[in-house]
Amino acid sequence: MSSIPLNPGAIGTGGRTRARENYLNIKHTVSSWLLTADHKRIAVLYMISISVMFLFGGVAAAGIRIALVRPHDTFFSSETYNKLFSAHGIIMVFFFLVPSIPATLGNFLLPIMIGARDLAFPRLNLLSWYLYMFGAVLVMGAILFGGIDTGWTFYEPYSSVYSNTNVVAVIVGVFIAGFSSIATGINFLVTVHKMRAPGLTWFRLPLFVWAMYATSIIIVLGTPVVAITLLMVVLERVFGVCVFNPACGGDPILFEHLFWFYSHPAVYIMILPSMGIISEVIACFARKRIFGYEFVAFSSMAIALLGFLVWGHHMFVTGESMYSGMVFSLITFLIAVPSAIKVFNWSATLYKGNVWLTSPLVFAIGFILLFTIGGLTGLFLASLAVDVHLNMTYFVVAHFHYVMVGGAIFGYMAGLHFWWPKITGRMYPEGWAMLSAFIMFIGFNLTFFPQFILGFDGMPRRYHFYPPEFQMWNILSSAGSSVLAVGMIIPGIYFLWSLRYGALAPSNPWGAKGLEWTIPSPPPSHNFDNVPIVTEDAYAYEAIYAAELAGDYSHVEAPIPLGAEAEYSSPAEPSKLPNSSEERQ
Amino acid sequence: MSLELQHPAVAPQRLSHQFEQIDQQNEIYIVGMWTFLVTEIMFFGALFVALTVYRSVYPDAFEQAHSALNVWLGLTNTFILLTSSFTAAMAVRSKMLGQRVLTLLFLGITIVCAFGFLGVKYVEYSAEFREHHFPGPNFQWSQTVSPSTAQGDLAANSQVALGVPKIGVNEFPANYQPQQLELHKRELFFSLYFVMTGLHGFHVIIGILVLSTLWLLIYFNHPTVDDYMPVELAGLYWHFVDIVWIFLYPLVYLIGKQ
Amino acid sequence: MDNSEHINHGPGVGHHHVTPVGTYVATYLALLVLLVLTFAVSRIDLGAFNIVVALGISVVKTALVVLIFMGVRHNSKLTWFWASIGFVWLILLFLTLGDYVTRQWVHLPLGW
């Protein structure tokens, strides 16, 4: 597919045409950003904030890997080590992974993908960003000035009775951030239900929208439970009430039940949006309809539902009833089915597809490989007997990093590369992107595969010191993490570079289907001049591929003269020409 | 029975830019509010799970402990909240029909009821603080714990009732006795009682703030409340607060009272 | 689930359901009767049925408030869906009890 010209610099050459008005250049004041109700601007605000939080979480991770190079680390005190892994977990889970894709790409794309001008509640969306920032500042303050050593799980009674660190401030921050994601979830649900463009039926929705819908259901139904549970920990610490404290006959396992009722579905909050991105990217670059669209859509819903029924598998080795454990183990095996359906369908889509190997697709394939490993090792942990051996070891750490980093972050990177031209209006350097994808893949496996071996050999997680025989694998892991870090810093640099020096992006650089590619890059503030009418299924790539074969398809449109935006439409999709008779108000 | 009508008195509603029709906008607001209420249901749901678990594990201790609550004050408060729910529904109806004075009247009664509820709660809480029923280091239980009760709970639930000593001490106190655990089980009940009624009370306070703001806006004919939707949404929230109490009252005050 | 039904009317005009005052008053009286009932029943020892009756009455009261005061019976299917999903999901949360019920089925020696 290398014959497709990827030379979007044709627009705007020589400054003959000024940039058309879009959501980025419509106003430049600080308050126009901080008080915006535009979902696209809020997405950009979120993108900046979560990138900063990711950096903090990454620094904590680097600290952990530095400490674990030697069996008896003297670089950090053990207290500091505990605070490092707690900070890493709390920042990455609550302030990066949970909001990452929904609040950035989801916020940006969801209304556009369904042909709406904005989310249903634009000001609630802005409020959600402020809540996130408030929680993030509180948590970062608490971590920088004192820290917290409970781990991201805040297990009772350590968190309420024994820990002498900033538990209250951190929990309040997480609590507030929880309301920020609830606000996003409510917004998405209502928007998908009620604001789809005419003709956009449920089974014409892009799979990314299905994934966001399933994610929002989990957010709305799960987050309040963890919020109240953490609130009770705060009340125990502050007022001395006792709900989970075994000293009062309270049951710490009840805390774990309520905590994991959210926190297990929360891993699907992290992975489902990535899965949605992968479906988009793979269909586009295989130039094929996604194989078994309905199955992929329903598997998202099945994961959302089943995800609520497996929380007990985090407590197999606690005092949880063994009968309970059996049922949870069984349902945990069941949830592998919808996950596998997705992997099979993506593979089947790529099979005999007309694959155009671009960096988003490389990230997506990396996702499939790593998610498969992460998912299959999850089945080891779902088996009751095996879990007794593997629980609380590095095997668990490796497993969930394969799913969270290998899955969620590779998916996020795939989506970021795929939609970067749409969001910023600039192309990134493809060669560097390809390079960073391979570096990340290698660095990631080097970091986390040794941890499977460590865990299987019995190294417990969260320990500062370990027997010397584990040192080799730990050094490999630490070395890999520096490779991974390089792989993540490169995109940071070329994305920033592209903002100024990147070639101007055409409205549809990939020849992709979907409403977001029918509007200019970057989109105008109101998204659509006329409400689009949808007349075909998502991923109807046959026409595009046929046009490409015949040589009469180009990803580059002619420069558009100023003032002619109203007539603007993508040359690829005559079926979606704005219909002036449908113009509203 | 109710009538579906395009009532002439219904004030025209303004359409926000992101919507297409007023029906779509109204439904989006109502569905959005309900989605929020779903999160509230899950929020309180976790507390009801905790209450159910501990009640089933420590039936005797919980029965003794809740007999210290004033069931008549609880009954009064339920009556007050049901009344306020009725007046809230009437306020929404009046607002929809554009009856300004009636809206102000019914909203006013709702707010007064909410304050009445908090007043009764204040009387209850004061009594409980006086009797040292607030959990924490000063928690006291004046009635003696019958040994058979203690035995019953302990034997039936040995796996939960691990005899771990009181907060803040890392070793077993020398005078550690099962009686102390019995005391703490009552403390557990009162912890749940205070957390649940406290959170509910917090929701009542939020409700007062929202309803009072609406009352003032309507009183000064502010354009935001030309539309009846704000009152409708506040009403939905207020009814939810009522529903929580509908379950709290029997489960905390009544059950086991024989 | 299709959204086509709502594009039939012009913008600015909505449908409103105005419930008669009599319905609200009747509901209010029914709620008060149920309140007295739940209080009276709690004074009679029915053993395990006390809690069943109390919860049953609470569910009826909630249904009255949701359907009439909150007006869900006139709302769209979508509102029905969201109004019910919270109560349905609570059942999942209450599956936690399965752990506590079955813990005593096996008598293991305490401690390791």
Please tell me what DSSP assigns to residue A427.
Answer: -
Within chain A, which residues score under 50 in pLDDT? 1-17, 558-585
Domain spans of chain C, in order of start: 15-104
Q: Looking at residue B131, what is its pLDDT?
A: 86
Q: Looking at residue B11, what is its pLDDT?
A: 57
A residues 286-345 closer than 8 Å to B (CB): 319
Say whether residue A37 is in contact with chain B using an 8 A CB cutoff: no
Say whether residue A577 is in contact with chain C using an 8 A CB cutoff: no
Q: Is A309 helix (H, G, I), strand (E, B) or coil?
A: helix
Q: Is A540 helix (H, G, I), strand (E, B) or coil?
A: coil
- Which residues on chain B are in Cβ contact (under 8 Å) with C43? 257-258
Within chain B, which residues score under 70 in pLDDT? 1-12, 143-179, 256-258
- Cis peptide before A157, with omega less than 30 degrees from 0? yes
**Which chains neighbour C (Cβ–Cβ under 8 Å, 3 or more pairs)?**
A, B
Q: Looking at residue A543, what is its pLDDT?
A: 82
Q: Do B79 and C7 touch (CB under 8 A)?
A: no
Return the CATH superfamily for domain B25-139+178-254. Cytochrome c oxidase, subunit III, four-helix bundle (1.20.120.80)
- Output the six-digit token pair for A281: 């990217």
**Which chains neighbour A (Cβ–Cβ under 8 Å, 3 or more pairs)?**
B, C
Q: Are A178 and A134 in contact (CB under 8 A)?
A: no
The model's pLDDT over A457-498, given as tens digits with 9 standing for 90+, comes to 999 999 999 999 999 999 999 999 999 999 999 999 999 999
Q: Structural domains in chain A?
A: 37-501 (1.20.210.10)
Q: Looking at residue A553, what is its pLDDT?
A: 66
- Output the six-digit token pair for B88: 């809230």
Q: What are the helix and strand counts (H, E) for chain A?
A: 18, 0
Kindly tell me if the per-residue pLDDT of C105 is higher than 90. Answer: no
Q: Is the ipTM of this complex over 0.90?
A: no
Alpha helices in B58-163 (DSSP H): 59-66, 71-96, 100-130, 147-156
Q: Looking at residue B225, what is its pLDDT?
A: 85
Say whether residue A245 is in contact with chain B using an 8 A CB cutoff: yes
Q: Using H for helix, E for strand and C for coil, what is the string for chain B? A: CCEEECCCCCCCCCCCCCCCCHHHHHHHHHHHHHHHHHHHHHHHHHHHHHHHHHHHHCHHHHHHHHCCCCHHHHHHHHHHHHHHHHHHHHHHHHHHCCCHHHHHHHHHHHHHHHHHHHHHHHHHHHHHHHCCCCCCCCCCCCCCCCHHHHHHHHHHCCCCCCCCCCCCCCCCCCCCCHHHHHHHHHHHHHHHHHHHHHHHHHHHHHHHHHHHHHHHHHHCCCHHHCCCHHHHHHHHHHHHHHHHHHHHHHHHHHCCCC
Q: Do A221 and C86 touch (CB under 8 A)?
A: yes
Q: Looking at residue B144, what is its pLDDT?
A: 57
Q: Looking at residue A240, what is its pLDDT?
A: 85
The model's pLDDT over B192-212, given as tens digits with 9 standing for 90+, comes to 999 999 999 999 999 999 999
Q: Looking at residue A65, what is its pLDDT?
A: 95
Kindly tell me if the per-residue pLDDT of C7 is higher than 90. Answer: no
Q: Looking at residue A26, what is its pLDDT?
A: 85
Q: Are A154 and A94 in contact (CB under 8 A)?
A: no
Say whether residue C55 is in contact with chain B using an 8 A CB cutoff: yes
Rounded to an integer, what distance in angstroms lies between the CA atom of residue A172 and that of residue A167? 9
B contact test, residue of A184, A248, A531 with most B CBs within 10 A? A248
Which amino acid is located at A299 in the chain?
S
Q: Looking at residue A572, what is its pLDDT?
A: 41
- Output the six-digit token pair for A18: 């000024």
